[in-house]
Structure 1
């Protein structure tokens, strides 16, 4: 089975351009530049960035991201701003429009991420309900999209692992007071422009353990080759090292499980994704926490 979206067609760049053309006819889809192709196809065109959701089930998530963007704007947090307050749709796929940010003056680093996380973690709850950080909530969908490109035994292993970490995470006692979090706190979700760091990709904003945002960089240090000195900068700017917390290994294990399943959705027709999935799932099966994973 190929990777499919909600209407049964492969979600390729060409497919995403067609959806862009249908939802935003006032721009020329042919002139749009593909910036990324993952959970969304993200295009730049003129002063806009347009995000086209991979799956029709992401419509509610797109609406949530727009609501979060409005809230952050009101709170004065430097974050990407929506060009329209509601999502458009093409064949059920969410399509959202954003103001394009200035060009980055340099790549964002862990210290920049820590700076914006301090702002986010200082926010009170908004006037609407933030969802819990369902870190493992996408596992089933990603494995469904992977279909028979991955070994059914590996899929079953990830489902069992997911269930165990869902239960373990529910029993955690946090060190920090729970509240608003980014949910996918990586330097790639920060852009450093002329006025400093700005938060982007707001889809995973949640109300949950603040430790969720901090475990991400700890895992980057251990799995993805982040320079330990850069991690130390992150800790220095934020003010606390999540590795001191007893629950760190539980959230790390949950995120590893989700990250492995996320790669699986790209496996059909993509040998590099299948190779990376194999590396990740084998290391989880073997309990080897030192195997290097590669961003995908």
Structure 2
């Protein structure tokens, strides 16, 4: 099964063209730009301007950009430690069917953030009581199903399995009884979305920010400690700092399966466009299908 988005596959050549168009519109230079990430979004660093350019890489990512912009502005009003949108430029930008945001570059010159740092950031985020207007309710399966609607080079058998898994996880989620008070959640709270800024750890990546169960914000690091081959375990410090160990809650196995489903499907729209990630994706998919909870995964790079 092969499907591409209406905006076209994000090949490196297409990305370079988009970057030049964006920079021309914003009065910036794309010379010496560095592609620092290319998974569900493509992220460039403009070395000459201290700016980060973020290109939404799928329909699911594009539909979330207006929320990302609202959340970033909301956090800035609260002086919350997070990345900031580039001022003086229309946000978001629309170029050739793609949706793009520009951010102030935050140099990673501080000490490596750990679980304790993320726990403190989440406590502070969860304490905010005036969410941005029109912030959506948490519906995690909608994002996964959008990704499954536009995969690249996914076999019919794998596609059918993942759709079935969506139904299974969705049914189990409906039966959960959460114990923490719901509210604003980051939605993808793992250490990869914490920057070691010069003034301390700062959050980034607000694609998944919604109103939902706080348990979900505590699940990514817990799952990472069990599934990923990270050199350090950040779950213990996070749960101690936050004051709640999600792995001891009876609903955690369901959130673990959901998190792993998202980690498997996150790159489906670019499996052909970015072939370097395919070996790791196949490794994840094999163990996920087999229900093997002991196999360790690596980052997509």
Fold match, TM over 0.5? yes
Query: Is the CA contact (8 Å cut-off) linking 2:145 and 2:166 kept in structure 1?
Result: no
Find the counterpart in structure 2 of residue 138 from structure 1: 143
**Superposition map of 1:220-239 within 5 A:** 220-226=224-230, 229-239=233-243
Select which of 283, 290, 293 maps to 1:289: 293
Does the residue aligned with 1:136 lie in a helix, a strand or coil?
A: helix
Distance 1:51 1:228 in 2: 29
Find the counterpart in structure 1 of residue 71 from structure 2: 68
Q: Deviations over 1:176-230 (max 9, x none)?
A: 1000111000111111222111111112111100011111111101100345753
Q: Would the alpha carbon gap of residues 209 and 28 (structure 1) be closer, same or farther in structure 2, given more than 3 Å must change?
A: same
Distance 2:232 2:52 in 1: 34
Aligned length: 294
Find the counterpart in structure 1 of residue 12 from structure 2: 13
Select which of 160, 177, 188 maps to 2:164: 160
Query: Is the CA contact (8 Å cut-off) linking 1:125 and 1:179 kept in structure 2?
Result: no
Query: Is the CA contact (8 Å cut-off) linking 2:64 and 2:207 kept in structure 1?
Result: yes
Query: Is the CA contact (8 Å cut-off) linking 1:13 and 1:37 kept in structure 2?
Result: no
Give the superposition deviation at 1:16.
1.3
Q: Would the alpha carbon gap of residues 224 and 4 (structure 1) be closer, same or farther in structure 2, given more than 3 Å must change?
A: same
Say yes or no: does 1:195 pair with 2:212: no
Query: Is the CA contact (8 Å cut-off) linking 2:225 and 2:233 kept in structure 1?
Result: no
Does the residue aligned with 2:141 lie in a helix, a strand or coil?
A: coil
Q: TM-score, normalised by structure 2?
A: 0.89
Does the residue aligned with 2:201 lie in a helix, a strand or coil?
A: strand
Give the superposition deviation at 1:165.
1.1
Q: TM-score, normalised by structure 1?
A: 0.91
Find the counterpart in structure 1 of residue 123 from structure 2: 118
Does the residue aligned with 2:63 lie in a helix, a strand or coil?
A: helix
Find the counterpart in structure 2 of residue 206 from structure 1: 210
Select which of 94, 101, 106 maps to 1:96: 101
Q: Which blocks of at least 5 consecutive residues in structure 1 are unaligned? A: none
Find the counterpart in structure 2 of residue 49 from structure 1: 52
Q: Which blocks of at least 5 consecutive residues in structure 2 are unaligned? A: none
Give the superposition deviation at 1:2.
6.5
Q: Would the alpha carbon gap of residues 105 and 150 (structure 1) be closer, same or farther in structure 2, given more than 3 Å must change?
A: same
Query: Is the CA contact (8 Å cut-off) linking 1:215 and 1:252 kept in structure 2?
Result: yes
Q: Would the alpha carbon gap of residues 281 and 229 (structure 1) be closer, same or farther in structure 2, given more than 3 Å must change?
A: closer
Find the counterpart in structure 2 of residue 175 from structure 1: 179
Q: Deviations over 1:13-56 (max 9, x none)?
A: 32112112223312222332222112221111212111112235
